[in-house]
Each structure stands twice: as structure tokens, then as C-alpha cells.
Amino acid sequence: ASKAAGKLTTGLTGLAVNSTPHISLTALYDRTLKLLARMPADAKYRQSTEAIVKERLAAVNSEPDISRLEKRINCGQIEEVVQQAERELQLARNFLAWKPWEPLIGQAPPNQWKWPL
């Protein structure tokens, strides 16, 4: 539901109604996919995030009705989904800078990955 469809508020403080969520999501998902393509194909973050983003982009492209799209994605109101997409794009940028797929520069301390200690 957009402003045009009568949605005046999200009911969430600080989160305004997005009147063009399909356009917003398409742009965000396209940019995220371009960043992911610059990561190694075997990087787990790339594989997981690509699968989710491609699935959501397909939903955006095939479902014009906002309320049905919200139900299909199942992650809150469409404005929340846009916010999630913005944050994922920023995280993908960070991952490109961090390069977590590269080997450690030194030996990890003993029990580094053991939990609980």
C-alpha cells in the first residue's frame, strides 16, 4: 500500500511511507548484486546474500500489489524491507573493504572459535 493506495503512515516512528517501493527495491537490489559479483564466487556471504537478493528481486518484479509483496517477502512492511535492503547494501560495501574471505594475517589464538569456553 502506497500513499496512492491510501497508506498515510507506517505506524513506526521515524519510518515514512515509501510511495515507490518497487523502484527503491529494484535499485537497491541491483546495486547489491553488482557489489556481490565483485566478491569471490565461493565466499559464503556472497552465496547467501545473492540467493536472498535474487529471490526478493524476482518477487518485486513479479508482484505489483504491495500487500501481497509484503506477505511474500515476510519481513514486515515494505518500508522495513527497503530499510533492510539499504543496510544490506552498506554491509556488502563493508565486506568488499574487509575481505573476510582472505586468509588470516596471523595464527588465530587457541580456542578462538570455541564456545562455550
The whole-number pLDDT of residue 36 equals: 98
The whole-number pLDDT of residue 7 equals: 86
48 in any annotated domain: yes
pTM for the full predicted model = 0.87
Close Cβ partners of 15 (under 8 Å, ≥ 6 residues apart): 77, 79, 80, 83
The whole-number pLDDT of residue 5 equals: 56
The whole-number pLDDT of residue 1 equals: 41
110 in any annotated domain: no
Close Cβ partners of 102 (under 8 Å, ≥ 6 residues apart): none
The whole-number pLDDT of residue 33 equals: 98
78 in any annotated domain: yes
Parent domain of 94: 21-98
pLDDT beneath 70, residues of the chain: 1-6
